[in-house]
Amino acid sequence: MSSTVIATDELKPKAKAEEVNYLNVEHTISSWLLTGDHKRIALLYLVSTTFFFLLGGMAAGMIRYELTSPAGVVLESDTYNKVFTSHGIIMVFTFLVVAIPAVFGNFLLPLMIGARDLAFPRLNLGSWYMYMTGGTLILAGMLFGGVDTGWTFYTPYSSMYSNTQVSLVIVGIFIAGFSTITTGINFVVTIHKMRAPGMTWFRLPLFVWAMYATSLMMILATPVVAITLLLVVFERTFKLPIFSPELGGDPVLFQHLFWFYSHPAVYIMILPAFAVISELVANFSRKRIFGYHFVAFSSLAIAGLGFLVWGHHMFVSSQSMYESIVFSLISYLVAVPSAVKIFNWMATMYKGNVVMASPMIYAIAFLMIFTVGGLTGLVLGGAGTDIHLTATYFVVAHFHYVMVGGTMLAFLGGLHYWWPKMTGRLFNDRLAQINAVIVFIGFNLTFFPQFIVGWMGMPRRYHYYYFAPEFQAYHIMSTLGSTVLALGFIWPAFYLTMSLFNGKKAGPNPWGAHGLEWETSSPPPVTNFLETPIVMDEVYDFDPEAEHAENRRRIEAAEAAKSDERKGSMEDHQ
Amino acid sequence: MSAITDSMDHGHGHGHEPGLHHQYEDMVQQTESYIVGMWVFLTTEVMFFGALFFIYTLYRWNYQRDFYIAHEHLNVLMGAGNTTVLLFSSFTMVMAVQSAQLKKRMHVMGYLVVTLMCAFTFLIVKYFEYASKIADHLYPGAGFATDAKLAFGEHAMEGGKLVANMNHVQLFYGLYFGMTGLHAVHIIAGILVIIALIRLWYNKANSVIHDYVPTEMVGLYWHFVDLVWIFLFPLFYLMPKPH
């Protein structure tokens, strides 16, 4: 090829690459650390939550390794307590509560409603700094000796007896909690006041509805746990005797206040997952979601009911039988809005043009796993059965089915789905599809044996089970599974990062999805939209027949491209 | 980045209004966002204090007599004085907001300074109150009960016998220091915010002189802090004698 031809051919893509977007507008470190742009803050959160997830995952690995032998392998009892506490605290407070809202919520909320930014950009940046301060204090606590109370900090052990870094870690959680609160405030105000013209409440994507419900819970529940944990610190440092039984204080009161937050907190962790799954299912089924209003209001119903069920964590904590019955009944009610969502998603897929791209595989895996997790939740929500299963691996398995199989899979699904929007690059979807299957297999291999071994009586938080060596097979299965799962979590980091360097340009809407965020360029410009969008069409307004034709066209185009490529490579060889 | 943002804003045909931030379309949207945001924030504060009020209610319900005896050592006069000071400061704050609406800059600053002085008065009185409690060893910790007996003297004695359960009295003072202490922290935060606001007015910052809402937001926060005290005062200082 002659030199002049190269010059003209390469000029065009170069000019395109220099299109100003939020990533290339400035390159200095301070332009990232002092940014008010919700998209940049979302990426800051993505990097930092991934870091904490890695740490929590390492603690999980140690737990699984320890449990491969009935007598324990390497850890002392004290160390083991600290390891599982680290795992719980890091995963709950610095990953699960934060991950989806702060990463995808931050990035997408303004894009989805057609706003230029969140209502309070500086507060948003402040929340990231609070999160990092809190996370750093938590890590400092782990480094300076760790905490052995479990992530629940039950009194009086945490307030009177534990000689570990409880205060430091709690202060960290307290500060990280304020980051959650400020994010919640920002989201609520943004959804109320920043919607583009024509974006009515019932044209909001379901992601936004679920984020709204999540934010409400963040706002109402987090302050309660903040003050409750602060009182534990006050008791440790100033001898403020709120929960100390020897002065007439009530240690069980701590559990009430703690679960008043922490039960809504598990919905703070799972509702954002629902948010992501609603988007994935509707967009990859190429259909308007079935029962839009029901799915939207089921999020609010879960948020409301979530505040009335905390007592089901306390069936064996000196709570009266009548309380237990009431809490048990209300807990069963939560199953209704959750089931509404599951059934509506399945009805959406029915007769849709389902595209089995990697995000959709994650979504389907989510549906299967979450259904198991949800139904076993009913087993635990029933006061009678729970007494048999309290503090066994059955609880552990249920929790991980909901939190890992639910939130983590939705996180991965969302990450794959919005990666082209965030970075402007396409990744290798074939690898991602394989990875989704690996995660699904690894996950079930890890946690399904725990249901069985828990039912048989394996207590949680034990690092030995010499009293029942027959559990070993299940534990080894679980540890093997966790290795597979770890592979499934690490691999995306490689192929997604690779896509930054050699991925194809994504274009505004690589998935053929519906929604405002897909109407702007990828990556979006600093102000999200060059002109304020005016919303004319309904949400998920797919035309099934056109979609079908489009589908066929795309398949044909892909085949044509493949044969072209083959020709091209043959020519190269020649 | 701001340069680009601004140029894009110009493309939209807005961004000329002084005091309007780039993410908002117009002043109305900005004002409404501030107001919703502030009320949502106050909701979180209500939940924050709410947990403490809940704990207080529970323990007072359980230990009515002991709480009554414990409360007799509090200085009602100082408490009532502080209540008056805070109520007055709420009034001056209202006047500051009113003046902000009328764009009377000197009046705003004057009223804010009076509010600030009230806040400091409150803290000074609080200091003397805390000091006298600490002098009487009425703070939680080892050695509370023995010293407290001396402090309470006849209040807690009936026929030469101690009737109050000193553990519960300690619980009362734990709550007293915890709740009024947390309230005092909010007063201090309020002082810092009011100082910042006065500086903005002094420097004729666009964000406050063209828009009264930031001043009103500070006012809302200040009223909330006052309101917490309006609940704390009767709960701790004005208990009816239990039967």
Residue A312 has what pLDDT? 92
Q: Pick the residue with more confidence: A359 or A544?
A: A359
Q: Which residues contact A372 (CB under 8 A, 6 or more apart)?
A: A401, A405
Residue the block writes with tokens 């996180």 = A411
What does DSSP assign to residue A425?
B
Nearest to B147, CA basis, from B161, B132, B137, B157: B137
CA angle A384, A386, A391 (to 5 degrees): 150
pLDDT given for residue A13 in this prediction: 47
Per-residue model confidence (pLDDT) at position B154: 60
Tell me the per-residue pLDDT of B179-220, one tens digit each, with 9 for 90 and over. Answer: 999 999 999 999 999 999 999 999 999 888 888 999 999 999
Question: What's the rounded Cα separation, in Å, for the pair A186 and A109?
Answer: 10
CB contact under 8 A, A119 and B59: no
Residue A557 confidence (pLDDT): 83
List the single residue in B with minimal CA-CA distance to A178: B44
A169-173, A220-224, A529-533: lowest mean pLDDT where? Answer: A529-533
Sequence-distant (6+) residues with CB within 8 A of B110 are none
A97 phi/psi in degrees, rounded to 5: -65, -35
Q: Which residues of A touch B51 (CB under 8 A)?
A: 223-224, 227-228, 257, 260
Residue A229 in domain:
yes
H/E stretch holding B77: helix B76-101
Asked if B29's CB is within 8 angstroms of A181's CB, the reply is no
Chain A residue numbers with beta carbons less than 8 Å from the beta carbon of B50 are: 223-224
Of B32, B168, B170, the CB nearest to A193: B32
pLDDT computed for residue A211 by the predictor? 96
In a domain, A420, yes or no: yes
Q: CA-CA distance, B27 to B19, in Å (whole number)?
A: 8
Range of the structural domain that residue A281 is part of = 25-542
Q: Render pLDDT for A70-119 as a digit per residue (tens, 0 to 9).
A: 998 899 999 999 999 999 999 999 999 999 999 999 999 999 999 999 99
pLDDT at A128 over 50: yes
> Is the pLDDT confidence value at B2 over 70?
no
Of A98, A92, A103, A100, the residue nearest A59 (C-alpha): A92
- Measured CA angle at A159 (ends A154, A161), to 5 deg: 95
Separation of alpha carbons B42 and B220, rounded Å? 9
pLDDT digits (tens, 9 = 90+) for A198-229: 999 999 999 999 999 999 999 999 999 999 99
ipTM for the predicted complex: 0.89
Q: Is the pLDDT of residue A523 over 60?
A: yes
| Per-residue model confidence as pLDDT tens digits over B45-102 | 999 999 999 999 999 999 998 899 889 889 999 999 999 999 999 999 999 999 999 9
Show the tokens assigned to A453.
């071994």
Please state, in angstroms and rounded to a whole number, the distance separating the CA atoms of residues A567 and A573: 10
Contacts for A550 with CB less than 8 Å, ≥ 6 apart:
A512
Residue corresponding to tokens 């959750």:
A338
Token pair of B172, please?
């009362």
Number of structural domains, chain A? 1
Look up tokens 């807005």; give the residue: B14
Secondary structure letter of residue B25 according to DSSP: S
- Which of A227, A250, A521 is most worth mutating to test chain B (most B CB atoms within 10 A of its CB)? A227
Q: Which domains does chain B have, with CATH numbers?
A: 26-237 (1.20.120.80)
Shortest Cα distance, chain A CAs vs residue B13, angstroms: 10
Instruction: Give the pLDDT mean for A466-472.
Output: 94
Chain A CA closest to residue B36: A189
Listed in sequence order, the residues at least 6 apart from A385 whose beta carbon sits closer than 8 Å to its beta carbon are A379
Rounded to 5 degrees, φ, ψ at A511 are: -90, -5
Q: Please give the angle made by the CA atoms of A422, A427 and A433, to the nearest 5 degrees.
A: 115
Tell me how crowded residue A33 is: count the other CB atoms within 10 A of its CB. 12
**Across A8-13, average pLDDT:** 46
Residues contacting residue A381 through CB under 8 Å, at least 6 positions apart: A309, A312, A328, A331, A332, A334, A335
Domain assignment of residue A8, yes or no: no
Nearest CA to A539 among A519, A517, A518, A514?
A514
Nearest to B216 by CA among B94, B37, B113, B43: B94
Q: Tell me the chain B residues in contact with residue A531 when contact means C-beta distances shorter than 8 Å.
A: 11-12
Q: Are B209 and B103 in contact (CB under 8 A)?
A: yes
Q: Buried b vs exposed e over A147-159: b needs ≥16 C-beta within 10 Å?
A: bbbbbbbbbbebb
- How many beta-carbon pairs below 8 A join chains A and B? 131
CA dist., res. A423 & res. A500, Å (int): 7
- What confidence score (pLDDT) does residue B158 get? 65
- To which H or E segment does residue A232 belong? helix A206-238
- Nearest CA to B27 out of B175, B202, B158, B212 is that of B212
The answer to whether position A444 is within a domain reads: yes
Instruction: Give domain status of residue A527, yes or no.
Output: yes
Residue A39 forms part of a structural domain: yes
Using CA coordinates, name the residue in chain B closest to A228: B51
Percent share of chain A, pLDDT over 90: 79
Residue B10 has pLDDT above 60, yes or no: no
pLDDT beyond 70 at A1? no
Q: Report CB contact under 8 Å: B22, A116.
A: yes
Residues 6+ apart with CB under 8 A from A331: A309, A312, A377, A378, A381
Q: Tell me if A116 and B23 make a contact (CB, 8 A cut-off).
A: yes
pLDDT in tens, A300-322: 999 999 999 999 999 998 888 99
Helix H or strand E segment including A497: helix A472-502
pLDDT band at A6 (very low <50, low <70, confident <90, very high): very low
Report the CATH number at residue A440. Answer: 1.20.210.10
* Diameter over CA atoms, chain B: 85
CB B25 within 8 A of CB A193: no
Residue for token pair 């629902």? A274
Q: Do A250 and B58 touch (CB under 8 A)?
A: yes
Q: Given an 8 Å threshold on Cβ–Cβ distance, is A249 in contact with B59?
A: yes
- Per-residue pLDDT of A148-164, as tens digits, reads 999 999 988 998 888 89
Q: How far is CA B117 from CA B187, B192, B227, in A?
A: 12, 12, 18
A267 lies in some domain: yes
Scan for tokens 């039967």, then name that residue.
Answer: B243
Q: Answer whether residue A347 shows pLDDT above 60.
A: yes
Under DSSP, is residue B161 helix (H, G, I), strand (E, B) or coil? strand
A568 occurs within a structural domain: no
Condensed to tens digits (0 to 9), the pLDDT of residues B111-166 reads 999 999 999 999 999 999 999 988 888 888 877 766 666 666 666 666 666 677 88
